[in-house]
Structure 1
């Protein structure tokens, strides 16, 4: 057993997936680190009604500290609580106090404390700071001991190193088989194609191009759309679900014939960015269709373990040509592939190695 790390983690939310697509990623990583013997305190703001839309209670595998989403006293107190940790992590996209946290966590850095920036939306961050030479985060990047990213592959690594990051390592999404696994189908989610995703500016056009276009081309097929922000101006064969709790993700993934994932524009452009939905769906044994992006073959084999589409027309063709049994076989091959080498247990070993290399700990 390796040394036990005391990790202070500032992120959007561990307990709520409401307007927070990174929730299952955080849970997978943090839970797996706990199983490795590390102690994580997760600091999250009371913002965007996430605390009113919790998916889980405070887990026994992490300490959760919720601080006020308004006024700086609460976040300042949280930073003080984090002082003395072996590792302090600032994740991107907390939603409030991001600039303050990016700056102030560096004040906690010492010979005994490593400070890590963990970017859960690296393509968007890099495009933002590239377009704005005055963005204050640019000057902070070289001061972090390490930059970890949710994905992005070589383009993201090279871009961060171009901004003088000491090092940049992708830690991809993965499967938590205890959380995402096959369950019985439920009639309330019966459909031919399901898609989960909040309505966001750099996703909306791609959802229209892939999901809504497929619905328009296959009027005899049934489509489910889950996520916040969508209104009723959708094709008649699309049923809106609104926010779908993570508690229902397995049931949805196991009830539809196929599951679609559509990356946001920036993530598709950079590639190597499989979102949590990919691992959730494949982990449940769903037949997954993804929009085409570079690097997918490093995670699942196109045609055998995942279906790749360049537009809604190709998705409509899959719906016409892939029967339920064929879909089941594709989904099961994907599930077995992820169980073999892409679980959060695998990712935690990698994160542990990286963090121990940056800290003089020993406890």
Structure 2
């Protein structure tokens, strides 16, 4: 890739135009006209500072970053991913060296500033993600250092806004919002207007999570589970897990259930027909979904309140053709059609009715309809194209119909 070590490396580098600089530096920063033509004429140089791409343990960020970075690389862009080296991910790295980008683990803010300042200055696009350690300091530094387009990618938008309202957000400050050229949000709908009017974001644009079809697809495996759920524990999803999975399991002892995800408490008190898997790395998600007759989608309280907040797991399950039972939130019908592509449930009775009474042909048809919908609009390739269009908009560059989402 075009990003180099702090010291210069010799020889030509792949993915770069002839005559382009062999490493990123402030001195090599292209003129505005060069930037304007870059979307069409050469790969963009993209620097990302995200929570984690190397470890999916206990977070949903890694899956999102991996899919997006892979798609960007496949479209010819040159990506540097800067990740804070923290012990809880160091001991759970399921992808220590992603093949689609240059990945750097930095020790602290001082190391980031001294060793990677030139790369940030030379980037066409710098993205700072939510929940980055010392994210406020990182964001202030990026806004001062970067000469290209800057973006904040909020993978937790409703959580962020709630924390900002309480003056308790550790990775984004009120004063930073107007300083980013783009505010990319996992949440769409009315939240985008709120970001601009109430918080002063220059350009709030939805960039939903996505699925990587290379990792998530249908496979011919026997269904060993009636209902499964994948997700890290959170206090605001426990009631949903109890109502929509544990209670049905208690009432239907013959049923087969499973929960996969870190940190769930009290699993020893769960029904005997519920299997618990503390962690399931992304390469094993496909088999897990494929083993289920239905999968459960649960949404955090802030996301439900905001609406228009589909989860990574929702798209993953759909891409695998697994029929989905979900809690309710505004805007879900804009993603998947209830009753045809997804089933909504509010009670254990409704879940049990789906598990025991829904005709098999309707179950399979819903899974296939959701799969077609997601593959047609919610893959990482779609997100990469959307991101390109937003960057072009920020640069003031017209995008051809072939390049637009």
- Give yes or no for TM over 0.5: yes
User: Which residue is 1:200 aligned to?
Assistant: 234
User: Which residue is 1:101 aligned to?
Assistant: 138
- Residues 208/134 of structure 1: CA separation in 2 closer, same or farther (3 Å cut): closer
Instruction: Say which of 14, 19, 22 aligns to 2:53.
Output: 14
Higher relative contact order (CA 8 A, sep 6+): 1
Q: Whole-Å Cα distance in 2 between the matches of residues 44 and 121 of structure 1?
A: 18
Unpaired segments of 5 or more residues in structure 1? none
User: Which residue is 2:402 aligned to?
Assistant: none
Q: Whole-Å Cα distance in 2 between the matches of residues 55 and 234 of structure 1?
A: 28
User: Which residue is 1:76 aligned to?
Assistant: 113
Instruction: Say which of 40, 44, 53 aligns to 2:83.
Output: 44
User: Which residue is 1:33 aligned to?
Assistant: 72
After TM superposition, the score normalised by the length of structure 1 is: 0.91
Shift in Å at residue 186 of structure 1? 6.0
Q: Whole-Å Cα distance in 2 between the matches of residues 328 and 124 of structure 1?
A: 35
User: Which residue is 2:165 aligned to?
Assistant: 130
User: Which residue is 2:374 aligned to?
Assistant: 338
Q: Whole-Å Cα distance in 2 between the matches of residues 57 and 183 of structure 1?
A: 27
Q: Whole-Å Cα distance in 2 between the matches of residues 90 and 350 of structure 1?
A: 17
Shift in Å at residue 299 of structure 1? 1.4
Is the CA contact (8 Å cut-off) linking 2:248 and 2:351 kept in structure 1? yes
User: Which residue is 1:145 aligned to?
Assistant: 181
After the TM superposition, which residues 1-363 of structure 1 pair with which residues of structure 2 at under 5 Å, given as runs?
A: 2-3=40-41, 4-68=43-107, 71-77=108-114, 79-80=116-117, 81-94=119-132, 96-110=133-147, 113-132=148-167, 137-185=173-221, 190-230=224-264, 231-359=267-395
CA displacement 1:235-292 (0-9 Å, x = unmatched): 2221111101111100010111111110111111111111100111010110111111
Q: Secondary structure at the match of 1:53?
A: coil
Shift in Å at residue 66 of structure 1? 1.1
CA displacement 1:300-321 (0-9 Å, x = unmatched): 1111111111233321221121
Shift in Å at residue 141 of structure 1? 0.7
Q: Secondary structure at the match of 2:269?
A: coil
Unpaired segments of 5 or more residues in structure 2? 1-38, 398-405
The higher radius of gyration belongs to 2
- Residues 48/19 of structure 1: CA separation in 2 closer, same or farther (3 Å cut): farther
Q: Whole-Å Cα distance in 2 between the matches of residues 324 and 160 of structure 1?
A: 46
Is the CA contact (8 Å cut-off) linking 2:55 and 2:96 kept in structure 1? no
Q: Whole-Å Cα distance in 2 between the matches of residues 279 and 134 of structure 1?
A: 28
Q: Whole-Å Cα distance in 2 between the matches of residues 26 and 152 of structure 1?
A: 19
Out of 125-134 and 265-274, give the one that drifted further. Answer: 125-134
How many aligned residue pairs are there?
354
Is the CA contact (8 Å cut-off) linking 1:91 and 1:119 kept in structure 2? yes
Is the CA contact (8 Å cut-off) linking 1:194 and 1:260 kept in structure 2? yes
Out of 319-328 and 101-110, give the one that drifted further. Answer: 319-328
Shift in Å at residue 59 of structure 1? 2.7
CA displacement 1:96-133 (0-9 Å, x = unmatched): 222221222111233xx121111000000001111239
